[in-house]
């Protein structure tokens, strides 16, 4: 049995040397010293021995146990030390390392442009109105005097959700909603997202932004419209430009016009931006049609108003010289970061 004991000790030393983790060491402890362990086995079998022999073996077994316990303790301590070193290595802080830069975000050029447009109108006392992007056919078309056969109602141009609900094709429905909600004087602009069934290309996107405007009061005339939009264009593009109003048709205004500005790039001489004409179209406008005012129950004998609507992407593209509308939606920071 003595030899068995020395064998256990020898093996224990060998195995402890090989153990790499706390867990392996703990398993060894159980195997060597546990209730079902080798050493306990030997002590149990001592019953059959004579008293002298038992005493000697008991002593030897105890000293082996003590030695193994010490070895285990050392092993646990060594493993702990090793873990600590490893952690020091991993968690080492280099206080001389330069700080990591957190890149500053920037506003999207569409947001920047909406804010610029809004600032000009707010300086003239307009407030901001909002309307839903998922709109009723009634507000998007009927309330705006667009009859049942108006081409823009076509399934191929408009995203219908049901027969009565669609994704608004313009911000103009906010006009009708505002007329229902407020009594004159009304003076609002409404920026927002619009949707049309367009295949994306350099100048088209199925989702885009508009800013709508509406003013209703007593004695509002076409000259108020022209003065307001001329002032707006000069604030946005520069005080040296000229504006020009061309007759046009919109169902919700009468008379209707499109406003052109003299090309801010070539100052009207003709260039690539204005396609040689010297003029650039930037918005639609007109005197609010009495049928639209009537939607809000407004006395059309007493009140008149003007409205306008412009494409934000178009204005941003002109202002910043961007030649592809799709750039706005790609979320490429190299592009977006240029409009701080
Ligand atoms: N809603 C028109 C469009 O999407 C733009 C527009 C034109 C709005 C004239 C107006 C307006 O308020 O008076 O093409």
Write the pLDDT tens digit of every residue in 225-250: 999 999 999 999 999 999 999 999 99
**pLDDT computed for residue 65 by the predictor:** 87
CA–CA gap between residue 303 and residue 298 (Å, rounded): 7
Residue 241 alpha carbon to ligand 1 centre in Å: 23
- Terminus-to-terminus CA distance in the chain, angstroms? 86
Please tell me whether residue 80 adopts helix, strand or coil conformation: helix
Residue 317 in tokens: 């593209």
137 CB-near residues (< 8 Å, 6+ apart):
153, 160, 163, 164, 165, 166
Q: Tell me the C-alpha to C-alpha distance, in Å, between residue 78 and each of 22, 66, 71.
A: 10, 18, 10
CA–CA gap between residue 118 and residue 318 (Å, rounded): 17
**pLDDT computed for residue 36 by the predictor:** 83
Q: Give the residue from 108, 89, 340, 127 showing the smallest Cα distance to 209.
A: 108
194: left (phi over 0), alpha (psi -120 to 50) or beta: beta
Q: Tell me the C-alpha to C-alpha distance, in Å, between residue 22 and each of 73, 115, 194.
A: 11, 63, 64
**Mutation probe of ligand 1 site: the residue of 309, 310, 312, 313 with most atoms within 8 A of C-beta:** 309
Q: What is the mean pLDDT of each run of 10 residues along the chain (340 residues)?
A: 82 87 88 83 79 83 87 89 90 88 91 97 98 98 94 92 97 98 97 97 96 98 98 95 97 97 90 91 97 96 98 94 95 90
Q: Is 250 in the pocket of ligand 1 (CB under 6 A)?
A: yes
CA–CA gap between residue 153 and residue 142 (Å, rounded): 10
CA-closest residue to ligand 1 atom 5: 309
Residue 286 alpha carbon to ligand 1 centre in Å: 8
Write the pLDDT tens digit of every residue in 109-163: 999 999 999 999 999 999 999 999 999 999 999 999 998 999 889 988 999 999 9
**pLDDT computed for residue 16 by the predictor:** 86
Which CATH entry fits the domain spanning 109-339: 3.40.1710.10, 2.40.30.30, 3.30.1330.40, 3.30.930.10? 3.30.930.10
Residue 199 in tokens: 């295949």
Q: Give the residue from 136, 198, 145 showing the smallest Cα distance to 167.
A: 136
């Amino acid at each position: 049995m003595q030899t068995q004991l020395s064998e256990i000790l020898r093996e224990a030393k060998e195995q402890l040397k090989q153990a790499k983790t706390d867990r392996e060491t703990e398993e060894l402890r159980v195997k060597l010293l546990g209730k079902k362990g080798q050493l306990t086995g030997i002590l149990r079998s001592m019953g059959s021995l004579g008293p002298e022999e038992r005493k000697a073996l008991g002593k030897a077994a105890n000293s082996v146990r003590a030695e193994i316990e010490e070895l285990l303790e050392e092993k646990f301590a060594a493993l702990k030390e090793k873990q600590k070193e490893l952690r020091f290595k991993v968690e080492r802080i280099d206080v001389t390392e330069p700080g990591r830069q957190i890149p500053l975000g920037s506003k999207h050029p569409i947001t920047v442009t909406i804010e610029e447009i809004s600032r000009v109108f707010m300086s003239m006392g307009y407030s901001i109105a909002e309307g839903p992007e998922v709109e009723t056919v009634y507000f998007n078309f009927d309330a705006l005097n667009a009859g049942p056969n108006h081409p823009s109602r076509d399934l191929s141009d408009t995203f219908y959700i049901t027969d009565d609900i669609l994704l608004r094709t313009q911000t103009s429905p906010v006009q009708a909603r505002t007329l229902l909600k407020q009594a004159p004087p009304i003076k609002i602009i409404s920026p927002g997202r619009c949707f049309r069934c367009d295949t994306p290309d350099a100048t088209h996107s199925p989702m885009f932004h508009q800013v709508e405007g509406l003013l209703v009061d007593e004695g509002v005339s076409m000259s108020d419209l022209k003065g307001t939009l001329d002032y707006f264009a000069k604030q946005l593009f520069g005080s040296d430009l000229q504006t020009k109003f061309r007759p046009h048709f919109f169902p919700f205004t009468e008379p209707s016009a499109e406003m052109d500005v003299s090309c801010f790039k070539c100052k009207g001489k003709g260039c690539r931006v204005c396609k040689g004409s010297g003029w650039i179209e930037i918005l639609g406008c007109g005197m609010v049609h009495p049928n639209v005012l009537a939607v809000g129950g407004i006395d059309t004998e007493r009140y008149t108003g003007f409205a306008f609507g412009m494409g934000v992407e178009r204005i941003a593209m002109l202002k910043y010289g961007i030649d592809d509308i799709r750039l706005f939606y790609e979320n490429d920071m190299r592009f977006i970061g240029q409009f701080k």
